[in-house]
Amino acid sequence: MARSTMMRRVLFAALATLLVLSLAPAPSAAAGQDREVSHRICDFDWQEGTWHVKQLIKCAARHWDSPGTPRKAVQVARCESHLRPDAYNPNGYAGLFQHATRYWPRRADHYGVPDRSVFNARANAIVSVRMARAIGSWSAWAGCA
């Protein structure tokens, strides 16, 4: 009985987090972070496989000094998508860090990767790491943080 109660609480917390992420608007460009990220930064061929995806995430986490260690960023992506850039949730979340697709275009613009797909692992990792840095933690991904 205690195990089922704990599982319900974990599920509720995960669903509450998804709800908050889906309702939260993308950050405004007023913060001055909308300058495009150079193509040279964390230029890993993420389509080559999981090892390259991990290296990409670690690079972005180091470059933007993400909360926790670079391994924490990889852990969150593993929890969200099993490190699959093409991961898709029918509720409207997609990519490595499962961004709400309705907010993705504004977030991508704001964090310097305009016009990139949510399924672009490099763009998704950069946006996610920079968002976590702006928040000061991985709490937006509470089910995985």
Tens of pLDDT, residue by residue over 57-68, are: 999 999 999 999
Torsion sign (Cα): 138, 73, 22, 27? positive
**Could you report the per-residue pLDDT of 117-133, keeping only the tens digit for each?**
999 999 999 999 999 99
Interatomic CA distance for residues 34 and 29, integer angstroms: 6
Interatomic CA distance for residues 5 and 9, integer angstroms: 6
Q: 2 or 67: whose pLDDT is higher?
A: 67
Q: Structure pTM?
A: 0.77
Interatomic CA distance for residues 126 and 113, integer angstroms: 8
Instruction: List the one residue out of 74, 79, 80 whose CA is nearest residue 46.
Output: 74
**Residue 59 backbone dihedrals phi, psi, to 5 degrees:** -60, -50
Torsion sign (Cα): 123, 127, 53, 56? positive
**Could you report the per-residue pLDDT of 3-34, keeping only the tens digit for each?**
665 555 545 444 444 444 444 444 444 444 66
Sheet arrangement for strand 99-100: 88-89, 93-94, 99-100
Interatomic CA distance for residues 95 and 36, integer angstroms: 20
Percent over 70 (pLDDT), the chain? 77
pLDDT of residue 9: 58
89 near 95, Cβ under 8 Å? no
**Could you report the per-residue pLDDT of 29-68, keeping only the tens digit for each?**
444 466 899 988 999 999 999 999 999 999 999 999 999 9
State the residue for tokens 């670690």: 58
pLDDT of residue 93: 97
What is the SS3 assignment for 110-125?
A: HCCCCCCCCCCHHHHH
Percent over 90 (pLDDT), the chain? 71
